[in-house]
Copies of this chain bind each other. A is one copy, B any other.
Amino acid sequence: MTATDAYGPADLIISGCAALLHDDQGRIGFAEDRAVVVRAGAITAVTDSAAAAALPAAERIDAAGQLAMPGLINCHTHSPMVALRGIAEDLPVEQWFNDWIWPIESNLTARDVRLGARLACAEMIRAGVTCFADHYFAMDEVAAVVTECGLRANLGAAYFSSQGEEGRARSLDFALRHRGTADGRISTCLAPHAPYTVDDTDLAATARLAREHGLPVHIHAAENREQTESSLARTGRTPIETLDRAGLFDDGIELLIAHGTGIVERDLEVLRRARARIAVASAPKGYLKFAWDTTPVRALAELGIPVGLATDGAASNNTLDVWESMALTALVQKQTEGDPAWLTARQALHHATVQSARAVGLGDSAGALAPGRRADLILVDLSGPHTQPVHDLAATLVHSARSADVTTTIVDGRVLMRDRRLLTLDVPQTVAELGERLPELTRRAHGRRIQDYRA
């Protein structure tokens, strides 16, 4: 009995391409002239093109001259903030939050979130992102956009202690209602904002709820060195120690920490002892813009903590371009560690694939082109003059190619972009509708803000 008999025709076969594959240790390799066979949203085989030519398939993509690789994963963003892209530039983080972002976010409506998420998803699909972890407000709207546009996402409704118990309750309610929706493409989490806006009692309650409901937790922590110093001065504990003390490092918890550029030496032992499954999301562009340190990727790697790639929101990062985060991670880490041999192109691709998948809880189902994984993949055109000749595919991908070279984005076996044309979202319509909302959304004369930033 052949594979065809066992399964019937494939839904989709992508053939003729080079492919980025992982060996059984998760190491990056490349193979030529591969075919990816997709059935019911999953990869059922990665084989050679000649073998695949004999298989019947409902749909075929001839990807000759392109490279297939796992779709990129944006491990920490606030997708609707694309509405504020470029509105508050060249500012220290205090002014950025207190004078711009938090006053503007006090105007935010569900409709703004819907439109922002649509534009963000369009940008991400065009950048080869197949999954994103979103931490924001009015998340029902984001879930609706994920459902309509076909992306995969891990979604959490943000809360502050200033909202009382209601914020936490809403975050839990959101997580329970949406978990497993959009044909399983949506996973959810609890989303306390940060140790400086969520108090110890609420963090401890979050840890209990996470264990009780089997929900991951996604939180900003140790965003910069100043926050760590301020936390030490105020409480005698670093933000990392505060998370540990609240029970968020306990066994059975899955914790995604955004940024961590303020992780200091004494935190490393705390992280080493943690029983929780911890990952860190790094968004290096914003750290450069705010003149912060960067995520201590090398120290985290030595602890076996995965570091996923992220963009943060476009209000600080200006794009949701995970490819850019990948390249910047390689560049900035070399410079920060004073070591040109550190964070090689292959390491950068490991962060972009295996480690990012683990960070968003998809370590077994995404992040690699392998049988049994979801069919979340992209095709990259390497024929442009800026990517030729190719001496080493890893270097070409990380340091020469860019997100605009992604031609095709596929999630769960469904083509969301083909030849750079979006198939599930209407950008001009979204931009026009969002444009009408901007005067009201960006009004700051009222003097309100949703929080005060004090590191």
Q: Which residues of A contact B (CB under 8 A)?
A: 82-87, 89-93, 119-120, 122-123, 126-127, 285, 287-292, 314, 318-321, 328, 331-332, 334-335, 337-345, 383-386, 388-392, 394-396, 399-400, 402, 404-405, 427-428, 430-431, 434-435, 438, 442
Contact = CB atoms under 8 A, between A and B. Distances in A.
By secondary structure, the A interface counts as: helix
Given A89-B344, A391-B85, A386 B123 contact: yes
A109 to B, nearest CB: 16
Closest CB pairs A-B (n = 10): A404-B404, A86-B395, A318-B399, A288-B331, A122-B385, A123-B385, A87-B391, A90-B344, A288-B335, A318-B400
A307 to B, nearest CB: 18
A187 to B, nearest CB: 24
Given A90-B345, A399-B89, A399-B319, A289 B340 contact: yes
B127 A86 contact: no
Contacts of A442: 391
B389 A438 contact: yes
Given A90-B345, A126-B386, A344-B89, A332 B288 contact: yes
Contact of A392 (B86, B341, B343): B86
Given A287-B335, A331-B289, A399-B86, A91 B341 contact: yes
A224 to B, nearest CB: 11
A87 B395 CA distance: 8
Contact of A431 (B127, B289, B388, B427): B388
A127 B404 CA distance: 12
A202 B93 CA distance: 51
9 contacts: A86-B390, A89-B395, A92-B340, A119-B385, A122-B385, A289-B334, A318-B395, A320-B386, A402-B402
B86 A435 contact: no
Given A291-B339, A340-B289, A389 B331 contact: no
Contacts of A92: 340-341
Nearest to A90: B344
Residue of A290, A318, A341, A402 with most partner-chain B CB within 10 A: A318
Given A85-B396, A87-B392, A90-B340, 17 more contacts: A82-B385, A85-B389, A86-B390, A86-B392, A86-B399, A89-B344, A89-B345, A90-B334, A90-B342, A90-B343, A126-B385, A289-B399, A290-B340, A291-B334, A318-B395, A402-B404, A404-B405
B388 A337 contact: no
A289 B92 CA distance: 27
Contacts of A123: 384-386
Contacts of A84: 391
Contacts of A285: 331
A59 to B, nearest CB: 26
Residue of A287, A319, A383, A435 with most partner-chain B CB within 10 A: A319
